[in-house]
Structure 1
Amino acid sequence: MKLLHTADWHLGRSLEGRSREEEQEQVMDEICAIADEEKVDAVLMAGDVFDTVNPPAASEALFYDTAQRLSLGGKRPVLIIAGNHDSPERLEASRPLAGRQGITIVGKPILKPMTIPIASKNETLILGCVPYPSESRLNECLSTINDEDSIKEAYNERLAELFKLQAQSFKKDAVNLLMTHLFAAGGKESDSERPIQVGGAYTVHPSAFPESAMYVALGHLHRPQTLADSPVPARYAGSPIAYSFSEAGPKSVTILDAAPRTPITMHEIELRSGRPLTRWRADKGLAEVQQWIDEERDQEAWIDLELRLDEAMSMHDIQALRKARPRIVNIRPIYSGIQALGDQTSRSSLPIDELFVRFYKKQTEGAEPGTDLVQLFMRLLEDEEAEREVAAGRK
């Protein structure tokens, strides 16, 4: 049988307030097209369907439409688990209708795996489903243990036990897989994954995966990657589009070729939808940025801009940049030429406005505050002093 492994759609997620809805619609179309072109027999979605537990209506509609298209009206099984961003109850609320379309949704960890007949190949898929295993979803109280090492060990042992229970139902004449959403030791994180563990406590070692599983379909980390230290093939499919500037490299879905008693084979299919996220570093300041804009560099990309300056940027400069390239997401000026602040003069002997200028230059790495800003600061001090005098008079 042929399977498609995907994860971490994060429907509804934005980029610093910029909507990604159009990109998400495009990549969902692409995933559906790949499933059809590859003639996959089932689809595995390893969690984080949505970005929040209360997603926008448009994101829910996109999810339902995508799941229905992937299922081919019930002819192709689609198996979905909840991630740490999903509401298990909200995902499972659609189960009565989803089940009629061949869509299986598992919101909380279960003890026994799903048995799915793959009619197109006359074979059986046995899939252990372990959605994001938080303490509450595991019905555990690990936080009562104060020692961090003990928490890690207890959590890892609990998950290993749960995986072992799942594996007890595996059969030799079936394709036996495990799908879960968690942080496995050895996985490489990026900025867009919000922490799911405190102090590294909620981390599972790959040795906890059952050796009888032919493949472990993982969700949570956004970089596509295969774990090196796992006793069985274990892979994060990654998010379908980049959600942070730290997510270097292409996005993909993973295609699995599986048969009973046969080592599984896999390959990636690169996804081309979604705008790239690019970092610009302009050591020559605004002139260099303007040159890149004139050259139409990274025309379709979201841009994180860092530029080196000698003077503070004005609001006019910032607005002009954003008007020329609306998809500049962040602008971070780095001020050069700063000299060591302070001299032999005692700070207490300096005028308050001079102290403010020195403080401002230190905080901005050398930028000079404008006259209007210094005057505003002085007025605020005067107003505060007047309020204190009034308050003292009342006493």
Structure 2
Amino acid sequence: MRFIHTSDWHIGHRLYGQKRYQEFKQFLDWLITYCTEHPVDALLVSGDIFDSTTPGNRALALYYRFLHRIAHTSCRNVIIIAGNHDSPTLLDAPRELLSQINVHVIASPRYQPEEQVFFLQGADETDAMIVCAVPFLRDRDIRSAVAAEDMDTKSKKLQEEIRSHYQKICAAAENIRNQHGFPLPIVAMGHLFTAGGQTVDGDGVRELYIGGLAHLHSSGFPECIEYLALGHLHIAQRVGGKEQYRYCGSPLAMGFNEAEQQKYILDVSLSPTELQVTPVQVPCFQDLIRLQGDLASLTDSIKQLAEQESAAWLELCYSGSSDPGRLRQQLQDAVENTSLHILRIRTNHSAAVHLQQEKPTESLDDLSVEDVFERCLASTNYTPEQCTDLRLTFQKVVASLDQEDIDHG
């Protein structure tokens, strides 16, 4: 069997307010072309399809159009799991309809383990594999709260429940394999943070579990797994040094700290006796460039980029000895009549904005819109009922801002 492993699309993500729908469209178009020119049997998407639990109309349109198009390629099956950014209810709503075109969605844990296991066949009927689809596991999904538990106990119990959930799903897969009577390879999907995983500052990856103690070690996965297709971390990497345990990483840079990373999808060929993983480079659809220096250095770098007819988005880090009052205007003047676009200007004199800091280096730029709202809400004296109403209103406002994109796309 040959399949593509991808994850963390984050459709709808904005970078300092800049909409990125053209990039998402270009990536999805590229992925369709790749699957057409390099016939694959399946596509596995390991969570964080969207950047928000309330994606706008344009984000949804890109998603559904892609699924319609992939169904008309050689790709016979698509399996999608929810990530921590996704709304299980939203992903699950069209599940029955999508299954008619062999798109299988697992947005939350199922009552019966067998419901998270899929037997997939390739174009050649002798090619087949079993996929265990495990979505992002929330505390409430798999663990019952116990009074007076401390944080350490909660985290350790949650880690054990995650391990147990994988054991149950993989046991169901082994039963299916035994019924077929020959050694079908077993692939597992997941969206979580494994111990030792590499991240980049500002990549948007947040701790999923209290204290980090629920980071699952590579030894916690069942031994029957012959390929582990993980999502959540944005850097393509092996887990625990194992060739068969992989994060594919995000296909687009989620921030300037990821700008110099090469992005990948993973093209995987798997049989009962052989595994071959080929990282495939995803083209960069929008250049992100960070420039640093004093005013003269920054304007000179901008001039050089303009001469190269660059259309990059810029983060400018001013490191001059003084903070000129007209810095922003001078830098904006430098990009005027060019295709360059300044998204952010940082100065070593600017006072960082903090909202109930959780760590000393945290600034407003490190927080999502939802984070800022929640921290503002926490500083009020509203009742829980009032907070719930305010959250719903806030979500509607954010959704309405995204929904108007469909009319301007």
TM-score of the two chains, using structure 2 as the length reference: 0.76
Q: 2:271 aligns with which of 255, 259, 262?
A: 259
Partner of 1:121: 124
Write the letter of the residue equivalent to 1:295: Q
Regions of 4+ moved over 3 Å: 321-326
1:225 equivalenced with 2:234 (yes/no): no
1:300 equivalenced with 2:311 (yes/no): yes
Structure 2 CA distance for aligned equivalents of residues 34 and 140 of structure 1: 44
Structure 1 CA distance for aligned equivalents of residues 91 and 333 of structure 2: 44
Write the letter of the residue equivalent to 2:227: Y
Structure 1 CA distance for aligned equivalents of residues 342 and 91 of structure 2: 34
1:235 equivalenced with 2:238 (yes/no): no
Q: 1:288 aligns with which of 258, 277, 297?
A: 297
- Any conservation in 2 of the 1:185–1:204 contact (CA below 8 Å)? yes
Structure 1 CA distance for aligned equivalents of residues 109 and 147 of structure 2: 19
Write the letter of the residue equivalent to 2:264: S
* Aligned-pair CA distance for 1:25: 0.4
* Aligned-pair CA distance for 1:180: 0.5
Superposed, which structure 2 residues align to 1:181-260 within 5 Å?
A: 181-190=191-200, 191=202, 192-230=204-242, 233-247=244-258, 248-260=260-272
Query: What residue ranges of structure 2 are gaps of 5+ in the alignment?
Result: 351-409
- Any conservation in 1 of the 2:199–2:205 contact (CA below 8 Å)? yes
- Any conservation in 1 of the 2:159–2:213 contact (CA below 8 Å)? no
Partner of 1:141: 145
Partner of 2:25: 25
1:306–1:143: structure 2 CA closer, same or farther, 3 Å change rule? farther
Please give the secondary structure, in 1, of the residue aligned with 2:8.
Answer: coil
Write the letter of the residue equivalent to 1:205: H
- Any conservation in 2 of the 1:30–1:273 contact (CA below 8 Å)? no
1:82 equivalenced with 2:68 (yes/no): no
94-103 vs 133-142, greater mean Cα deviation:
133-142
* Aligned-pair CA distance for 1:316: 2.7
CA RMSD of aligned residues (A): 2.2
1:208–1:50: structure 2 CA closer, same or farther, 3 Å change rule? same
1:250–1:74: structure 2 CA closer, same or farther, 3 Å change rule? closer
* Aligned-pair CA distance for 1:74: 9.0
Write the letter of the residue equivalent to 1:175: P
Partner of 1:380: none
Q: 1:180 aligns with which of 175, 190, 202?
A: 190
Partner of 2:71: 71
Write the letter of the residue equivalent to 1:53: T
* Aligned-pair CA distance for 1:275: 1.4
Structure 2 CA distance for aligned equivalents of residues 10 and 163 of structure 1: 25
Structure 1 CA distance for aligned equivalents of residues 241 and 161 of structure 2: 20
Please give the secondary structure, in 2, of the residue aligned with 1:238.
Answer: coil
- Any conservation in 2 of the 1:142–1:155 contact (CA below 8 Å)? no
Partner of 2:363: none
1:142–1:13: structure 2 CA closer, same or farther, 3 Å change rule? farther
Please give the secondary structure, in 2, of the residue aligned with 1:29.
Answer: helix
Structure 2 CA distance for aligned equivalents of residues 86 and 265 of structure 1: 30
Structure 2 CA distance for aligned equivalents of residues 49 and 72 of structure 1: 20
94-103 vs 82-91, greater mean Cα deviation:
94-103
Structure 1 CA distance for aligned equivalents of residues 154 and 124 of structure 2: 44
- Any conservation in 2 of the 1:74–1:100 contact (CA below 8 Å)? no
1:328–1:197: structure 2 CA closer, same or farther, 3 Å change rule? farther
Write the letter of the residue equivalent to 2:281: E
- Any conservation in 1 of the 2:76–2:102 contact (CA below 8 Å)? yes
Superposed, which structure 2 residues align to 1:298-337 within 5 Å?
A: 299-309=310-320, 310-314=322-326, 315-321=328-334, 323=336, 326-334=340-348
Partner of 1:365: none
* Aligned-pair CA distance for 1:333: 1.9
Superposed, which structure 2 residues align to 1:21-60 within 5 Å?
A: 21-60=21-60
Partner of 2:155: 152
Partner of 2:7: 7
Please give the secondary structure, in 1, of the residue aligned with 2:210.
Answer: coil
Aligned residue pairs total 331
* Aligned-pair CA distance for 1:211: 1.0
1:278 equivalenced with 2:292 (yes/no): no
- Any conservation in 1 of the 2:303–2:334 contact (CA below 8 Å)? no
Please say which structure displays the higher CA radius of gyration.
1
* Aligned-pair CA distance for 1:138: 2.0
- Any conservation in 1 of the 2:13–2:20 contact (CA below 8 Å)? yes
* Aligned-pair CA distance for 1:151: 3.0
* Aligned-pair CA distance for 1:144: 5.5
* Aligned-pair CA distance for 1:60: 0.3
1:75–1:34: structure 2 CA closer, same or farther, 3 Å change rule? closer
Write the letter of the residue equivalent to 1:174: L
* Aligned-pair CA distance for 1:143: 8.7
Write the letter of the residue equivalent to 1:154: K
Partner of 2:134: 130
- Any conservation in 1 of the 2:35–2:74 contact (CA below 8 Å)? no
Percent identical pairs in the alignment equals 28
